[in-house]
Structure 1
Amino acid sequence: MNCKILKGHEDRVWQVVWHPNGQMLASCSSDKTIKLWRLMNDEYKLIQTLDDCHKKSIRSVSFSKDGNFLASGGFDAIVGVWMFDGSVYKLIQQLEGHESEVKGVAWSADGKYLASCGRDKTVWIWDHEDLEFSCNCVLQAHDEDVKCIKWNNNILYSGSYDNSVIQYIYGEDDEWDHLQVQVNHQSTIWSIDIFNKLMLTTSADCTAKVFAIQNGNLKHIQTLQGFHKEPIYSGSFSYDGLYLALASADNKISIFKKDSIDEFGQPHFALEQIFDAFEFDVNCVAFNPKNYLLAASSDDLNIKVFNLQL
C-alpha cells in the first residue's frame, strides 16, 4: 500500500484534518503546535507551524467549510481562531471560557457558529460575525467530559464519557434545544462523523455504529464489532460514502466498504481490509474530501497518508 510519512511533530499527534480543497492537511499535537502540510510534487511539505496560541497540548483542529478559518482547542482551556490572509494563517482571536481542557472544535456548515467542547462537561457555541467571536451559549447536557462534536448543517451533535450522544437544535425561542439520541454504546463516545443522512460513532467499547438520521432521531443500521480489541478512537466516511475507516488503540486501521442495501434502503458495510498502521495508538483517521486518500495520526509522533487504491 502506497504511504507517505509526515514527520515534524515532537510529541503525540492527536488529530489530522483536511482542508476543503483536499490539497492541505492540518495536524495538532501535544508539542503545542499545529502544522500545515501541502501536497507539492507528490510529496507533503510542511508549509507553516502555528505555535503562538496554546501553552499546552492541542487536542483538536477544524477548518471552516470555505477554508478561510482554522480553529483549535487546547488543554490550556483556550480556543484559537486563525484566518487565512492569502498566504498564511494568522491568529486573530483566543476564546476563553472553558474551565479545563478543550477536547473538540467544529465549524457549522455556514460558518456562522464555532462549537467547542471539553472536560468541563460543557459545549460552547460561539457566534461568528464580522471577524468577531462571542459566546452564544453554554450547553450543559452531559454528565461527564465531552469528547467530540460534529455539525450536520446547523444541527450539532456531541459525544461524551457518559456514553451518550446529544443533539442540539436552535429553536423558535432563540434557545438551543437538546435531546439525547439513543446510541447504546457501553463506554465513552470517542468520535462522530456524518455523511449525508448517515452517522458513524466510535467508542471505547471497541465498537463502531452506523445510524440513519431520520427526522432528528437516529435509527440503528449496523454495529461493527470484533475487528478491534482496543478502543476505537476515530471514524471517517469517504467523500462519497462508499467506504468508512476506523482507527484504534490496537495500532490498526480498518477499512469497510458498502456491500449491500437493506429492505429499508439503508447501506451495510463489510470489512475490506485491516492492517497495522503505526507502532502505537492510532488517534485519528480522516478521508480526503475529494478522493480515497486517508490521513492518520498516532502517538508515535507521525502522520501517514495512505493511498488505499480502492
Structure 2
Amino acid sequence: MSAKLVGSFPPQPDRVWCAVPHPRLPLVATASTDRIVRIYSLPDFSLISNIEGGHRRSIRSVAWKPNTKGESVLATASFDSTTGIWHKLDGAADSRTNNSEEGAPLNSEEREEDEEWRFAVVLDGHDSEVKSVAWSAGGSFLATCSRDKTVWIWEEMEGDNYETVAVLQEHSQDVKIVAWHPEEELLASASYDDTIRLYREDADDWICCAVLAGHGSTVWDVSFENAGSQSRLASASDDQTVKIWHRKPKVQQEVMPRQPSIIKQADDQLEDWEEQSCLPKAHSRTIYSIDWSKRTGLIATASGDGQIVVYREEELIEHGDANEGTSSKRKEWRVIAQVTSAHGVYEINSVAWCSKWSTQGARMDEELLISAGDDGVVNVFELTI
C-alpha cells in the first residue's frame, strides 16, 4: 500500500501550522504564521475565503465546533495569548453539500456572498502563547493550552459569552496540545515535561484523573481512538516514538452494604492508564503530529524528517504445539505506507484524516490525508493498493 499525492491547496506565503477538516462539510481551515485563517474547498482544492483581523501574531491552531446547526463556528489560538471565536451562517454551500444527489460547486460570486465570517469574541487569560484549542465532543466546552504551562477549560453560555470553569496547572512546562475524547468529556494534554495528563469533571471542579509517563522527551501530539469506554490514546514525541496507551477497566469489588452518601468521592474519577505498545520506529526526527482515524482505525504521523507514515493494527495467529493443535492470537502494529519528502526539504507540522468528496460535493467512502508544512503548502494524499 502507498500514499499518492492527489492535490495541493494554493501555497501560502509562510509556514502553515495545521490544516483541519470541517466535521460535516467539504471544507478545510488552516492556521498560519501570517495571522490569516484560510478556508479551502476539498472537492477542487480552491481557496474559498480568508479570515483575518482578529489576532496580532501567528495563529497556531484552529478547531471547528461540532454539532452546530445553521452555522459554522471556528476557534483560533494565537501567539498573541488570545483565543478567538468566529461565526458564519451556513448558506447555499451547506445546503448543496448536504444533498449528495444535487450537490454542485459554487461560483465565485456565490462563494463571496456566502463566506461572511464574524469575529464574535476574544477569550483572554493566558499569560503567553496559546498553542492549541479544541472543542469537546458535544461542543459545550472549549479547551486551550499555552506556553504558560496551563490548560484552560471554557464553557459556552448564552449570547457569545464564555465562562472560565477551570484553570489547570498540572504540567511543569510548556503545554503543546489539548484533545478531547470523541465521546466523553475527557480531556488530554501533552507537554514539554514529557507527560500526558487526563482531566474530567468532578462535582463542580475539573481534576487530573491520570498521568501518562513513558516518553523520553516532549510529547507533541495525542489522538484518541473512537472505541467507547475502553478507549486508547496514541501519542507522538520528540523522542521519535509513537506510543499507544490503554485505559484499564475499573476493578469491580464486592463490598459490604453501606449507607448512601451525597458526597462524591474524588477517587471515583481517577483512571488507570498503561502503555500498551510502542509502534515500529519509522521516523528519524521529532514526530510533530498524529491522527487516529475514527473510521478505519489507521494511524498517521508526520515528522520533522519530512515523512508521513501510516500504521495499521493487524491480528496475528501464533501456532503452538502441533500435536495439541493449539494457537493464540495477538495484535501488532505495522507500517503500511510511507511518504518520504512529503513537503520537499521542509518539516511537516500536521497530518489529519478527512473524508473524500466528489467534485459535485458528495461525501464518499474513502479517506484522504491532509498535511501542512513549513513550505506554506497543504498537500492531500490518498492511500492506494
TM-score by length of 1: 0.93
Post-superposition Cα deviations, 1:95-132, rounded to whole Å, max 9, x if no partner, equal 11111100000001111110000000000111102232
Q: Alignment partner of 2:62: what SS?
A: strand
Asked whether the equivalents of residues 153 and 166 of structure 2 are also in contact (C-alpha less than 8 Å), the reply is yes
**What letter matches 1:203 in structure 2?**
S
**What letter matches 1:84 in structure 2?**
K
Identical counterparts, % of pairs: 32
Can you give the 5+ residue segments of structure 2 that lack an aligned partner in the other structure?
91-113, 250-270, 319-327, 356-364
Inter-partner Cα distance in structure 1 for 2:86 and 2:330: 39
Inter-partner Cα distance in structure 2 for 1:24 and 1:3: 16
What is the 5 A alignment of 1:253-292? 253-260=308-315, 267-276=331-340, 277-279=342-344, 280-288=346-354, 291-292=366-367
2:148 aligns with 120
Q: Alignment partner of 1:228: what SS?
A: coil
**What letter matches 2:338 in structure 1?**
I
Post-superposition Cα deviations, 1:251-301, rounded to whole Å, max 9, x if no partner, equal 110111221269999853200121221121010000015642000000011
**Is residue 309 of structure 1 aligned with residue 310 of structure 2?**
no
**What letter matches 2:300 in structure 1?**
A
Asked whether the equivalents of residues 221 and 268 of structure 1 are also in contact (C-alpha less than 8 Å), the reply is no
More helix by share: 2
1:74 aligns with 78
Asked whether the equivalents of residues 219 and 235 of structure 2 are also in contact (C-alpha less than 8 Å), the reply is yes
Query: Which of the pair has more CA radius of gyration?
Result: 2
**Is residue 157 of structure 1 aligned with residue 188 of structure 2?**
yes
Asked whether the equivalents of residues 10 and 47 of structure 2 are also in contact (C-alpha less than 8 Å), the reply is no
1:63 aligns with 64
1:111 aligns with 139
Inter-partner Cα distance in structure 1 for 2:332 and 2:179: 22
How far 1:307 moved relative to its partner? 1.3
Inter-partner Cα distance in structure 2 for 1:262 and 1:53: 55
How far 1:182 moved relative to its partner? 2.4
Aligned counterpart in structure 1 of residue 120 of structure 2, from 92, 103, 108: 92
Inter-partner Cα distance in structure 1 for 2:65 and 2:189: 18
**What letter matches 1:274 in structure 2?**
Q
**Is residue 188 of structure 1 aligned with residue 218 of structure 2?**
yes
Inter-partner Cα distance in structure 2 for 1:141 and 1:105: 17
Taking a change above 3 Å as real, the CA distance of residues 193 and 265 of structure 1, as seen in their structure-2 partners, is farther
How far 1:225 moved relative to its partner? 4.3
Asked whether the equivalents of residues 151 and 175 of structure 2 are also in contact (C-alpha less than 8 Å), the reply is yes
Asked whether the equivalents of residues 163 and 189 of structure 1 are also in contact (C-alpha less than 8 Å), the reply is yes
Asked whether the equivalents of residues 126 and 146 of structure 2 are also in contact (C-alpha less than 8 Å), the reply is yes
Inter-partner Cα distance in structure 2 for 1:44 and 1:183: 40
RMSD of the TM alignment (CA)? Answer: 2.0
**Is residue 218 of structure 1 aligned with residue 273 of structure 2?**
yes
Can you give the 5+ residue segments of structure 1 that lack an aligned partner in the other structure?
none
Taking a change above 3 Å as real, the CA distance of residues 265 and 203 of structure 1, as seen in their structure-2 partners, is farther
Taking a change above 3 Å as real, the CA distance of residues 102 and 261 of structure 1, as seen in their structure-2 partners, is farther
**What letter matches 1:299 in structure 2?**
D
Inter-partner Cα distance in structure 2 for 1:32 and 1:262: 52
2:299 aligns with 244
Give the aligned length: 307
2:282 aligns with 227
Asked whether the equivalents of residues 152 and 167 of structure 2 are also in contact (C-alpha less than 8 Å), the reply is yes
Inter-partner Cα distance in structure 1 for 2:62 and 2:317: 36
What is the 5 A alignment of 1:194-213? 194-196=224-226, 197-213=231-247
Q: Alignment partner of 1:308: what SS?
A: strand
**Is residue 27 of structure 1 aligned with residue 30 of structure 2?**
yes
